[in-house]
Amino acid sequence: MLGDVLGLTKSQSLAYRELVASPSLDAAELGRRLGCEPGDALDVLRTLESHGLAARQSGDDSRFQAAPPEIALGALLASRKDEIRAAQEELIELEGEFRRSSALRPATDVVDVVRGADAVKQRIMQLQLGARETVESFTKPPVFVMSAEDNTAEDQAVARGVRYRVVIDRVFLDTGVLRVDDVAAAVENGEDVRFSERVPIKLYIFDHRLAFVPIQTVVDAESDLAPDLVGALIIHPSGLLDALIALFEGVWRDAIPFPQPGEQSDDSGLDPQDSRILGLMLVGLTDQSVANQLGLSLRTVQRRVKVLMDIAGVSTRIQLGWHAARKGWI
C-alpha cells in the first residue's frame, strides 16, 4: 500500500522493507531474500539510493543500509502531496475551461457517442471513479458490457463515500442472474437498492452533471455487420438530462426497497428465514424464485407461507403482506 502511494514498484517496496529489518545488505544478500539475481537486486538498491531511501556504508560501498523511514518516506510523501495539490489546481482550471467551452456548444450538441464494448466499459469505470457525491442507475437485462462482479469501480466509489441509488429489474432475481446475498452485501456496504417490475432503460447519472445511457443495436444476422453493436450516449447538462433525472426519481419512488435481512423489529418473533421469504414475496418473486434464491424446496416455501398466514390469521397473500407491514415483520 505504501509503495503504491509513493510510486514505488513492488520490488522496490519489498527491498526497502528488507533493508529496514537489517543492519545492512549487499546485492547478493538482498537477491536471496527477494528471490532474484544479484544484478537485479543491485539495480533496485541503486534506485532506492537515488530516491534517498538507501545509502551505502562508509566502510564498504557494496553494502547498503536503509535511510530512516520517517525522514526518507516523509520527504517522498511531502513531494507526492505537492504533486497532488498541483494536479488538483490544474483539474480545477481544466474544469473551468470545460464548463466555459460547454456553454458555447450548440443547443443540439448535448449528446456524445461512445462506440464499442471496450470503450463503453472503460467510460463507465472512469465516470464512477470520478463521481464525487452520487451515482444513480437503472439495471436491466441483457448484460452486454460488464457484470456486477466486473464493476470494481462501484466498490471503490462507495468506499469513498459516493452514494449509490440503484433500481434493478426484478427479472434478475427471477432468473437467478442476481443472488439476494450479493444484493444484501451491496446494501450492507452502503448502497440503496430497489426493485422494479420493469426498468425502462439502462442508465447511469453522475452527480446530476452527466447521464450515461448504454445502448445495443441488434442487426440482421445475415448482415455483414457484427450481430451486436454496442455503444453509449453521454448526455451533458440540458433539458434531456433533466428529463432523465426526473425519470429516475419517478421509477425510484415507485420501486420496492430491497428487504435487508434483520431489518424487522426485534420483537416480531419471526424466524429470519421466514422474514427473508416474506421480503422476497413483497419484491414480487414467485414461490419458485424464492425457493431458488434461498436454496429451499418449493414445498418448503409454500409450507412456510401457509404457516405465516395462519400466524397472521389471514386467508390471502395480499392480507399477509398488509399484516406483515403493519406488524413490522419486514
DSSP 227-264: SEEEEEEEE-SSHHHHHHHHHHHHHHHHSEEP--TT-S
- Angle, CA of 171, 177 and 180, to the nearest 5°: 85
Confidence (pTM): 0.61
* pLDDT reading at 208 higher than 80: yes
Domains of the chain by residue range: 1-104, 111-257, 266-326
Q: pLDDT tier at 103 (50, 70, 90 boundaries)?
A: low
* Confidence at residue 105, expressed as pLDDT on a 0 to 100 scale: 60
CATH class belonging to 266-326: mainly alpha
CATH 3.30.870.10 applies to domain 111-257: yes
The predicted pLDDT at position 144 comes to 66
Q: What fold characterizes domain 1-104? A: Arc Repressor Mutant, subunit A (1.10.10)
pLDDT confidence band for 296 (50 / 70 / 90) = confident
> Same CATH fold, 111-257 and 1-104?
no
C-alpha cell at 299: 414445498
Residue 117 CA: distances (Å) to CA of 216, 228, 250, 276: 9, 10, 29, 37
Report pLDDT digits (tens) over 308-321. Answer: 888 878 777 777 77
Q: How many CB atoms lie within 10 A of CB 47?
A: 16
Please name the amino acid found at residue 235. I
pLDDT at 57 over 90: no
**Is-contact 178 172, C-beta < 8 A?**
yes
207: left (phi over 0), alpha (psi -120 to 50) or beta: left
| Separation CA 185–CA 76 (nearest Å) | 37
- Alpha-carbon gap, residue 323 to 327, rounded angstroms: 6
Q: Output Rg (C-alpha) for the chain, integer angstroms.
A: 28
